[in-house]
Amino acid sequence: MHRLWLVFAQTVTVCLGILFIVTTLRPDWLRNGAPAPAPAQQVAVSGPNQAPSASYADAVAKAAPAVVNIYTTKAVEVPLIPLPSDPELNRLFRGLPGLTQRRQSGSLGSGVIVRNDGYILTNYHVVEAADSIRVALADGRETDARVVGADPETDLAVLKVGLQKLQAISFDADESLRVGDVVLAIGNPFGVGQTTTLGIVSALGRNRLGINIYENFIQTDAAINPGNSGGALVDAQGRLVGINTAIYSETGGSLGIGFAIPAKTAERILGEIIERGKVTRGWLGIEPQDISPELMRAFGLESQHGVIVAGVLRGGPAHRAGLRVGDIILRLQNEVIPDSIGFLNAIAPEKPGTNVELTVLREGRQFRTEVEVGERPAAMRRR
């Protein structure tokens, strides 16, 4: 009896093993001999509720042909012996014959073709004091370029080349850029060749960075490195939203904090330079200072809006209108002045020769006065 039970147990074990194998490998044998239907082919469909493929190849193909590499050369004084660190002594020794030697120095940057007739936008610091400027296009052509005009206060310059069949970039006409939007930086970092990097808009309206006099930067984490200056910052449709200008870095390389001049500003500067050869800005001849909490309490002000006149240029527009050091300008054309940056940006678009109305607080008394706007003198960047 024990032997029969052992045979039965072994038989059941073998049958269960065969059933498991058939169920796993050939389940169609258990469906009355009917073959199982073939699995449906997986087709990727982009519907309204499904995100499209994350590729920006079309945007790059649209914008990249308009981005150029810029190579400049200029003569520099190279000391033959170590010079004193003191600025005055350094300047004196540099002027002595035989202590320095003139040599050609090269640098590189990027630019953007903005008109089919050969106009290129770039940074002023890319072409500043250059003896020669060479432009290399994405299609392999190279040519010399000349400077049409520059605006050191926004670090923009306009170049002109004589080539035909140029592909110009399109500007972001609706100015819909938002924090979080995807952007692409296209340029020539470290001279390795045209390169595209991806990031987002990290912030808008960045100022007080000490880079330019007029600052209203787009901040992005798209990698920007030396050589990218003057290149294009484009949106996901390949439209120009900014001109890459500067980075915050402790090492010289990208740390994810880059800055670009908005395309709206660049387009306005471009038009003025092409039309008049320079950029004209309104100017009152005063040095504005922000109102700190301490100054607000000292003057008995209700808010920090407005600017304190810290300096008045003798013979300038404000001096002729009777403004004094210590006056507080509260409003311009009846609009509240937020701070000194806002004041400079509000005066700049005013045409020289026109009058603007200021609301001024002096010794606790408010009054209104008109000032004839002058033309801001040309400023050169510190070398």
Structure confidence at residue 169 (pLDDT): 96
Which CATH number do you get for residue 258?
2.40.10.10
Contact 368, 361 (CB under 8 A): no
The catalytic residue positions are 125, 155, 229
Structure confidence at residue 303 (pLDDT): 83
Q: Does the residue 171 lie in any domain?
A: no
Strand 258-262 versus strand 217-220 pairing type: antiparallel
Same domain, 152 and 189: no
pLDDT tens figures, 226-272: 999 999 999 999 999 999 998 887 666 677 899 999 999 999 999 99
Same domain, 262 and 288: no
How many CA within 13 A on the CB side of residue 180? 0
Q: Which residue has the higher pLDDT, 358 or 12?
A: 358
Same domain, 104 and 126: yes
Same domain, 83 and 124: yes
Q: At 47, is the pLDDT very low, low, confident or very high (cuts 50, 70, 90)?
A: very low
Structure confidence at residue 120 (pLDDT): 97
Same domain, 202 and 150: no
Q: Residue 126 pLDDT > 50, yes or no?
A: yes
Q: What is the length of the chain?
A: 383
Domain range for residue 296? 282-375
Q: Residue 209 pLDDT > 50, yes or no?
A: yes
Q: Helix %, strand %, coil % for the chain, to 5?
A: 20, 35, 45
Q: Does the residue 297 lie in any domain?
A: yes
pLDDT tens figures, 332-354: 998 998 888 889 888 988 999 99
Average pLDDT, the chain: 83
Of the residues 276, 306, 340, which one is the last residue of a structural domain?
Answer: 276
Q: Residue 325 pLDDT > 80, yes or no?
A: yes
Q: Residue 381 pLDDT > 70, yes or no?
A: no
Q: At 31, is the pLDDT very low, low, confident or very high (cuts 50, 70, 90)?
A: low
Same domain, 187 and 223: yes
Which CATH number do you get for residue 296?
2.30.42.10
Print burial letters for 151-188: b (CB count within 10 Å at least 16), e (below 16).
Answer: bbbbbbbbbbbeeeebebbebbeeeebeeebbbbbbbb
Q: Does the residue 363 lie in any domain?
A: yes
Structure confidence at residue 212 (pLDDT): 79
Same domain, 263 and 291: no
CA nearest to 239, candidates 173, 178, 194: 173
Same domain, 237 and 303: no
Number of domains in the chain: 3
First to last CA, the chain: 108
Q: Does the residue 319 lie in any domain?
A: yes
Angle (CA) 192 109 169, round 5°: 100
CB atoms within 10 A of CB 98: 7
CA nearest to 203, candidates 221, 224, 188, 229: 221
Q: Does the residue 18 lie in any domain?
A: no
Same domain, 302 and 265: no
Q: What is the dihedral of CA 111, 124, 71, 130, to 10 degrees?
A: 150
